[in-house]
Structure 1
Amino acid sequence: MKVLVISDTHGLLRPEVVALAHSADAILHAGDVGKPEILDTLREAMPGEVHAIRGNVDRTAPLKALPETLLLELGGVWIYLLHDLTQLDRNQLNLVPEVAGMQVVISGHTHQPKLEGRGGVLYLNPGSVGPRRFRLPVACAWLHLKGDQITAEPVTLEV
């Protein structure tokens, strides 16, 4: 299973992201969608599932109805989405991913791509595909799920 992981569109859906969406089996959006049309366009671009959570900028309807966090199973892999990883790091969510059986934690918010393993859990921040912030790259990631094999492939977009 090939999952496109994006975050922090902030109302801007780049054509490069839509092109990637055509190759995805599923899309995960880690918050700060910005405009509901973003999710509509992603759903139209690919036949699979689009899952999204709300970020700190998603304060008005219908985006404020998105869940704050999401636990889902894709391809036999348990994935947890939240926008701001500091909530988890500060234990504000009363959750320990490795104890709960999660294999992947996906977050956004910082606009900075990051990939690391901790306690047997893959932590992925795809970066931001929305408006460029400071000198950070415009980035997303592929998550490849094949049985017990979980790999992440960072993608920097040339824009």
Structure 2
Amino acid sequence: MRRIGLVSDTHDLLRPEALAFLRGCDHIIHGGDICGQRILDALAGVAPLTVVRGNNDRGAWAQEIPETALLELDGVRIYAIHNLAELPAGPVAAGVRVVVSGHSHRPLAQEREGVLYINPGSAGPRRFKLPISAAELLLDGGAVTPRIVELVAR
């Protein structure tokens, strides 16, 4: 079994609760709006890291970050994009099993047409009354189990 940590919308704030949650992950995916290289450095010190650029990721440090990423972990194809509204059509046809996004700050795990759409919410500054959260994917022999965790009590 592999544990994949998911975070998004850190907005230059990597909370200790987020780091504690991510420890022990086999891989981390950041869904964008990182807002600083130091966030990437800290996450890369925990586990191998895949990141996508969000609409607030600007400047020289962010130029090499792709807008999307496609990876395969334990035979599960995962597509990452910051804004789900910009998702190209056809994740099913592309063999994608999981789509990881961010942008809305709203945690969500929903399966449609055999594709799991998961937004870990925001692990950075609180926005409105939305939770501070992160998520994980447990991969086991092709099975994918998502879990969203509130990191900071309201």
User: What TM-score, normalized by structure 1, do the two folds share?
Assistant: 0.92
State the Cα deviation string for residues 63-108 of structure 1 (Å, max 9, x = none): 13200000001111100000000112xxxx3x31011100000100
* Alpha-carbon separation, structure 1, partners of 2:49 and 2:110: 24
Give the residue type in structure 2 aligned to 1:152: P
* Alpha-carbon separation, structure 1, partners of 2:48 and 2:28: 6
* Alpha-carbon separation, structure 2, partners of 1:74 and 1:32: 23
Number of the residue aligned with 1:53: 52
> 2:74, 2:142 within 8 Å by CA — same for their partners in 1?
no
Indicate the structure with greater helix content: 1
Number of the residue aligned with 1:96: 90
Instruction: Describe the SS at the equivalent of 1:18.
Output: helix
> 2:81, 2:101 within 8 Å by CA — same for their partners in 1?
yes
* Alpha-carbon separation, structure 1, partners of 2:22 and 2:144: 19
- Tell me how many residue pairs correspond in the alignment: 152
* Alpha-carbon separation, structure 1, partners of 2:120 and 2:38: 21
* Alpha-carbon separation, structure 2, partners of 1:19 and 1:134: 24
Equivalent residues in 2 for 1:18-33 (5 A)? 18-33=19-34
Instruction: Describe the SS at the equivalent of 1:128.
Output: coil
Paired-residue identity, %: 47
Deviation at 1:130, TM superposition (A): 0.5
Number of the residue aligned with 1:6: 7
Provide the aligned C-alpha RMSD in A.
1.0
User: Structure 2: where are the runs of 5+ without partners?
Assistant: none
